[in-house]
Amino acid sequence: MDTRLNHALDLKKGRDERARERFVSGLRGYVLMDLAGELRQDYESKQLPAHLSTGGAEPASGSDVHNIVKGTPVFNFYSSLRCTAQELVWDSVMDSVGANQDALRGTFDSLSQAPRGSLTLDPDLDPPRYADAVDVHLMPSNYRGAADSVVEPGAVYDNGLNVFAFGAMGRQLNDIGWSMATFFKLKFPHLKPRKILDVGCTIGHNTLPWKQTFPDAEVTGVDLAAACLRYAHARAEAMDVEVHFKQASGDCLPFEDNSVDVVFTSMFLHELPVKMIHAFMAEAHRVLKPGGVLLNMELPPNSAVEPYDGFYLDWDCYYNNEPFYKPFRDQDYRELTVKGGFDPEQFFEAVMPRQTYVSEEEFTGAVTGAAEFDEDTGRLSDQIKWYGFGSVKAGE
């Protein structure tokens, strides 16, 4: 495992810190591939047959599967170890972030001196309760960090995500961004976007590929968390990519009506209560130009996957401090866009391999057909496929 981030915000890490990251990354791979395989096999060969033989009904949903496997030895071991691995993801990088705090703040200051992009913070923006009540995915202090945080939560997230992903999310954790921007280019070859937003961008790791794909566009990352945005700004500058970052909420985007060509999100909607998703959809519709495109990279809806896969993905909602995960995945995604003002006929969705891991031919072939869901859709492993959905604003 490469514990380096290969940009100017890279931390100076000791031998033990690097070894711990390697260990936790390997542990994650073991839990999410080896143990996950055992969990599925135990369900198919033992738990489900036992359930059916005692008169139980065929599971129709992820919740049904959850009720069958909950409390079994394999489930308990998998789940307990997965929670521990999740905690260790952050734990394994926090000493390095703490030890490099002064250097990190200094690098942020120097990279902000003559930036190509910009950073606009809103000191009056209080984090809404939904975003601040629990530490999502067991990440201590969440995206916001402690009261005196400057860039530290961004560094914890960047380094932690590198451990979390065990090499499955791209060299610079940007495969989602590359996949979605490339998908957009293939699906809408006639569009030449001039203004692109990435809402809920955190550290901008998936924002940058949009600028790299569309160099003439003005690309802006929006997020609630100031500390992540400062880090995102410095990270983009360190990589010499001109991106702007603004602190704002997804239901109150600081952009004019009909002014944006693309509203993009990645792994954002499942962090929102359904009411807030509705508000975001309406807001995206408001800022998009007629003919503009909303594209959300997300987990697939429960209705599109097998009950076992639904249970597997919703595990995070039950046990990984992701309270809005399942309520979101239970929605009809087309309906979500329609309630935001989009035409139901304009809805689209796609399942795709990871763009930076496959050939251009394979990627193009996969995204031009209809969305095909399988157990790898949205399930983090070395075989993961990304899912995206969206719509086009009517009027052009």
Single residue of 27, 32, 151, 287 touching another protein by CB under 8 A: 27
Beta carbon of residue 148, minimum distance to another protein (angstroms, whole number)? 9
User: Which of 39, 88, 197, 295 forms a contact with another protein (CB under 8 A)?
Assistant: 88
For another protein, how many residues bind (rule: CB under 8 A)?
43
| Secondary structure class of 200 (helix, strand, coil) | coil
Report the residue number, 24 or 248, with the smaller CB distance to another protein: 24
Please, which residues have CB within 8 angstroms of residue 348's CB and are 6 or more apart in sequence? 187, 389, 390, 391, 392
230 binds another protein (CB under 8 A): no
Q: What angle do CA 356, 381, 377 make, to 5 degrees?
A: 80
Choosing from 2, 16, 44, 343, the residue that interacts with another protein (CB under 8 A) is 16
Chain CA centroid to CA 203, Å: 11
Q: According to the binding rule CB under 8 A, does residue 4 interact with another protein? A: no
Name the minimum Å distance from CB 17 to another protein: 8
Residue 19 vs 238, nearer CB to another protein: 19
Q: In the complex with another protein, which residue's Cβ is closer, 152 or 261?
A: 152
Q: Is 159 in the site for another protein (CB under 8 A)?
A: no
97 is a site residue for another protein (CB under 8 A): yes
Reduce the DSSP state of residue 218 to 3 states and report it: strand
- Out of 6, 41, 45, 80, point to the residue binding another protein (CB under 8 A): 80
Segment near another protein (CB under 8 A); pick from 87-95, 182-190, 238-246, 325-333: 87-95
Q: Provide, rounded to whole angstroms, the least separation between the CB of residue 16 and another protein.
A: 4
Q: Considering beta carbons, is residue 182 or 321 the nearer one to another protein?
A: 321
Site for another protein in 234-293 (CB under 8 A): none
Q: Smallest distance from the beta carbon of 74 to another protein, in angstroms?
A: 11
Minimum separation from the CB atom of position 174 to another protein (A): 25
Name the residue type at position 10: D
Which DSSP string corresponds to 235-251? HHHHTT---EEEE--TT
| 84 near another protein (CB under 8 A) | yes
Among 12, 15, 129, 190, binds another protein (CB under 8 A): 15
Residue 94 CB, nearest approach to another protein (Å): 4
Rounded Cα distance between 187 and 250, Å, is: 25
24 belongs to the binding site for another protein (CB under 8 A): yes
Cα–Cα distance for residue pair 212/28, rounded to 1 Å: 31
Three-state secondary structure call for residue 305: coil
Residues sharing a CB contact under 8 Å with residue 344, sequence separation 6 or more, in sequence order: 334, 337, 338
Min separation Cβ 136 and another protein, Å: 8
Alpha-carbon separation of residue 102 from 98, 149, 249 (angstroms): 9, 12, 29
CB atoms within 10 A of CB 147: 6
Name the minimum Å distance from CB 345 to another protein.
41
User: Does residue 52 touch another protein according to CB under 8 A?
Assistant: no
Exactly one of 1, 7, 8, 18 binds another protein (CB under 8 A); that residue is 18
* Residue 197 within binding range of another protein, rule CB under 8 A: no
* CB-CB neighbours of 137 under 10 Å: 18
In the sheet where 244-247 sits, what is the strand order? Answer: 118-120, 244-247, 218-223, 195-199, 260-266, 288-298, 386-392, 348-352
Query: Coil, strand, or helix at residue 7?
Result: coil
Give the H/E segment covering residue 368. helix 360-368
Q: Phi/psi at 393 (nearest 5 deg)? A: -70, 130
The contact set with another protein (CB under 8 A) reads 15-16, 18-20, 22-24, 27, 75-77, 79-81, 83-88, 90-92, 94, 97-99, 101, 133-135, 138-142, 146, 152, 156, 318-319, 321
